[in-house]
Amino acid sequence: MSEFGKVAVLMGGDSAEREVSLRSGHAVTKALREAGVDAHPFDPAHNPLAELKEQGFQRAFNVLHGRGGEDGTIQGALHYLGIPYTGSGVLACALAMDKVKTKQIWQAAGLPVATSRVIRKGQAYDAKHLLEELGGKVMVKPAQEGSSIGMSSAADAAGLNKAIALAHEFDAEALVESWLAGPEYTVAILGDQALPAIRLQTTHEFYDYDAKYQANDTQYHCPAGLSDLEEMALRQLAEEAFACLSGKGWGRIDVMCDKFGNFRLLEANMVPGMTEKSLVPMAAKAAGMSFAELVVEILRRCES
């Protein structure tokens, strides 16, 4: 497709999600080439970004996951270089990468989230009191990691101290959230429209890194088993959450239900996984769109 010119598929990088990014990048490159796009893999860990201009790339399809790739850093660099790129801009990516800031924005907009507290590295806290305040069981997350890296649950003071220490290995802020009993859903966004919701089912305590990328028994249900009204409400919530962060192009919103069945927003992902078995392609397939059609549509919506 000559309309796109020479396209760099940004993959790899040097974040904790490098291997996942490489898998996404190779799948995207293959699909774009099958669709007739002049696409080439480009790993910023091995090639200076200035080479994008030197090599004549006219667009960038970004599948750099994690820090540096979806936190606004690469978006700012590409904007400075004058190369249109897929997905959201600097502000949206920076906000979405930070789970604490994301939650604060959603709360300010009146959108539903789990009760939480933020513990900064070096900050004193009473583990027993914190657990009581948040309902007795919690999920602890680094503020700025993806793919469930550094996440763990806790139901007693010793476990909470261990979970916070683990989160602090990855980030200066640990987000401690009240436990959500599930089920868990993810909603892909293309443009400003939500695709069919997917319900995630795992034998693990939660949808952790192993359940996402290594386990063979994780199940994905699309249709998600919701009533028409529930599906509509979930999609609308995801669209509002995406728009609140100034999201553009494509992305994914993760949601869980509390013990009463109420939807609670978890986080936003502005550069989701993009292998043919990933969640966004799965939702697109349910909407009648092939993987190749999906990547071409994402590329067509480049941010300049």
Residue positions annotated with a catalytic role: 17, 147, 278
228 is in an annotated binding site: no
Contacting residues for 278 by C-beta, under 8 A, at least 6 apart: 24, 272
CA distance 281 to 302: 18
- Coil, helix or strand for 219? strand
Q: DSSP letter for 215, please.
A: -
Block residue for tokens 């997905």: 87
d(CA 195, CA 245): 18
C-beta of residue 185 within 8 angstroms of C-beta of residue 224: yes
Buried b (16+ CB within 10 A) or exposed e, 135-168: eebbbbbbbbbbbbbbbbbbeeeebbeebbebbb
Ligand-binding annotation for 19, yes or no, is: no
DSSP 156-203: SHHHHHHHHHHHHTT-SEEEEEE-----EEEEEEETTEEPPPEEEE-S
Q: Is 98 annotated as a binding residue?
A: no
Provide long-range contacts, Cβ within 8 A and 24+ apart, for 123-129: 125/164, 127/157, 127/158, 127/160, 127/161, 128/157
Feature table: binding site: 254, 267, 269
